[in-house]
Structure 1
Amino acid sequence: MLILASQSPTRITLLNNAGLRFTAMAAPIDERKAEHDALTQDSNRAALARSLAEAKALVVSRTEPDAMVIGADQTLDFDTREIHKPVSRDQAAAQLMAIAGTSHALHSGVALARDGRIVWSTVESAILRFKPFSRQTLDAVLDLEGDAILGSVGAYRLEGPSLRLFEAIEGDYFTILGLPMLALLDALERHAPEVF
């Protein structure tokens, strides 16, 4: 049995597109507390993405011991600021205007757990550069995006109209979407071939 410890529509779609049969369930953790605890040990945003992915996989694995559990999380690294999923359009607009014309990194952590222990984890990163853009341009994109941007750590969706805001991208598309699929599929083949 394969479980995705997430209700993320994007991650669910990625696993479905890969032809995997799985169950999706939310990982019952306080992400801000887990983030705070992890950052007291290491301020590295990439390491934090991995730690949060492992925490999600472990918490579900402890209640579903026979299953292979996928945990995933993503952090955004920009100018030492803590940036999270926005709670409103205004907050999304403020975040995006603050990083217009600059680069930032997205770190996507993914982990596999079975029987209450981590059997594999990794983190992959991508660098994204925004064009300089006006508030008018941003408002037009946000109108097209609607509430979908509230589900993204960066307040944008590369698979949506937000793509108009970008100048350059270095890195794996799946990493940007929040689930490094190539590394994950390779790990599943090695650690849980029965799920294929």
Structure 2
Amino acid sequence: MQKRRLILASSSSYRKSLLSRIVENFTCHAPNIDESPLATETPAQTAPRLAKAKALALAHLYPDALIIGSDQTASCDGHLLNKPGTEANALQQLKLCQGKTVTFYTSLCLLNSTNQNLQLDTITTEVSFLTLTETQLQAYIKKEQPLDCAGSFKCEALGSSLFRSLTSTDPSALEGLPLITLCAMLRREGFEPLS
């Protein structure tokens, strides 16, 4: 039996790399939605809303597919941590996180565009940061340039040197695409990653 077409509603190189760990053939398509948080939203509410919106945005283009939408937000002391964009912003975010626990919300939506069945889940990851010097933080930013990463670090690389610990039910969630959760969702749609 031929597998249903798989669409990743993202232009993120990180998510593309993650998905390629479990699936060989898929199409990436940027959903081009407004990703701004709403004024009344918490980070825990923003991530699932955007993950769902990304998948739904492509449903009319791919009427017989499984569409994956994902979004991640992070919160420290009630502050939303965005992609920093600049080294100065990255330093400011990392200084805020020192000695604290940051909560990451990684939401995943799988839409079957044939029957409109939609699965939505959010994986919470708690990251406890070490207390490091400003010099150490600047050195990290210079080496890794995490300017397009929420929270200003890359957990799959040198970013792990900033942590005391992390707790999650799905380790790949912190990287941006929860693969354990995705495999379970795909199987519920009859798509077997191991076949």
Number of residue pairs matched by the alignment? 188
TM-score (norm 1): 0.89
Q: Distance in 1 between matches of 2:69 and 2:6?
A: 11
Partner of residue 158, structure 2: 161
Cα RMSD, aligned residues only:
1.7
CA contact (8 A) 2:43 2:80 kept: no
Aligned partner of residue 147 in structure 2, secondary structure: helix
1:45 CA displacement = 2.2
Partner of residue 102, structure 2: 104
1:182 CA displacement = 0.7
Partner of residue 128, structure 1: 127
Partner of residue 87, structure 1: 85
* 2:118 is the alignment partner of 1:119: yes
Q: Which amino acid aligns with 2:166?
A: I
Distance 1:152 1:118, change over 3 A: farther
Q: Which amino acid aligns with 1:161?
A: L
Aligned partner of residue 188 in structure 1, secondary structure: helix
1:46 CA displacement = 2.2
* 2:21 is the alignment partner of 1:17: yes
User: Comparing both structures, which one devotes a greater share of its residues to helix?
Assistant: 1
Q: Distance in 2 between matches of 1:78 and 1:174?
A: 20
* 2:5 is the alignment partner of 1:5: no
Gaps of 5+ in 1: none
Q: 2:180 aligns with which of 179, 182, 190?
A: 182
Partner of residue 62, structure 1: 60
Partner of residue 32, structure 2: 28
1:151 CA displacement = 1.8
1:77 CA displacement = 1.7
Gaps of 5+ in 2: none
1:48 CA displacement = 2.0
1:194 CA displacement = 6.8
1:144 CA displacement = 1.1
Distance 1:129 1:120, change over 3 A: same
Q: Distance in 2 between matches of 1:152 and 1:21?
A: 26
Q: Distance in 1 between matches of 2:21 and 2:181?
A: 15
- C-alpha deviations, 1:56-98, integer Å up to 9, x for none? 0000112221121100000102111122111111111111111
Q: Distance in 2 between matches of 1:152 and 1:90?
A: 14
Partner of residue 150, structure 1: 147
**1:71-82 maps to which residues of 2 (within 5 A)?**
71-82=69-80
1:19 CA displacement = 3.0
